[in-house]
Amino acid sequence: MTQNNIRLVTWNINSVRLRAPLIEKLANEHAPDIICLQETKCPDDLFPFDTFHALGYEHIHIHGMKSYNGQAILSKIPFEATEIHHRVGREDCRHIMVKLDINGGTDLHNLYIPAGGDEPDIETNDKFKHKLDFVEEMTLWFKTHYKDTDNVIAVGDFNIAPQEHDVWSHKQLLKIVSHTPAETDRLNDMQKSLTWVDTTRHFVPSDEKIYSWWSYRNRDWKKSNRGRRLDHIWVTQPLKPHLAAHNILSEARDWEKPSDHVPVILDFKF
């Protein structure tokens, strides 16, 4: 298959059925070839396949559950294989993968790392321990299953803002789940597992603030701008020369009945 330009999107949609019209808007206005969704909150038998087939996404891989978590990959590019992975002993719909005929063969992983609850303490908060265990397991898994020379993409809601300018206030959020050293150190270790390229920071300097999530609690998200960069697209080194453009679609936070996350868009040129 010859595919010169590919547009990939990751988006925590916060209910795929409720926000299917927003995915349609994204598809019509930005024409992604592949859309990776997290937090679909939809059992597989109720997934709106027809809606996305009508938009040209003939190839769909899902793993969902009622009310919580769930993932989907919508693609105009055929899958050569699909996989579902269960992490840290739970079947909670947080990791799916597809193999694509891109650049001689590429594995695309869609991840939804646990949010981690409110208290950054593994002794009192099992959700936080689950999160750290998940990242540690992924770090070892990537290192075990791939080489640095393989074509691999990892996308999703990582629920961690790893760098100082990935949050509105580094100092104030150091003890807030999503930006604590326990999380950021582990995510940095995961990034080193395959010398991953953090594609947002490939295009946006590390000293520039940029976010992909704004809380529903902020009455005027744009005015307060207390955001965090929780949504990521990583690629291995062989794909780095093919990175062409990047956009965090912040205007989607103002769409009707929006998710609290916005799409992250990455363009490849082969």
Count of CA atoms in the C-beta half-sphere (13 A) of 148: 8
Q: What is the spatial distance between Cα 22 and Cα 161, in angstroms, rounded to a whole number? A: 25
Is 152 exposed, middle or buried (CB count within 10 Å of its CB: 0-12, 13-18, 19+)?
Answer: buried
Q: What is the CATH number of domain 5-269?
A: 3.60.10.10
pLDDT tens string 94-136: 999 999 999 999 999 999 999 999 999 999 999 999 999 999 9
Q: What is the pLDDT of residue 158?
A: 98
Report phi then psi at 44, rounded to 5: -60, -35
pTM attached to this predicted model: 0.97
φ/ψ bin of 192: left (φ > 0), alpha (ψ from -120 to 50), beta (otherwise): alpha
List alpha helices for the chain, DSSP H. 20-30, 49-53, 126-145, 170-173, 181-192, 199-203, 221-224
DSSP character string of 183-212: HHHHHHHHHHTTT-EEHHHHHS-TTS---S
pLDDT tens string 231-243: 999 999 999 999 9
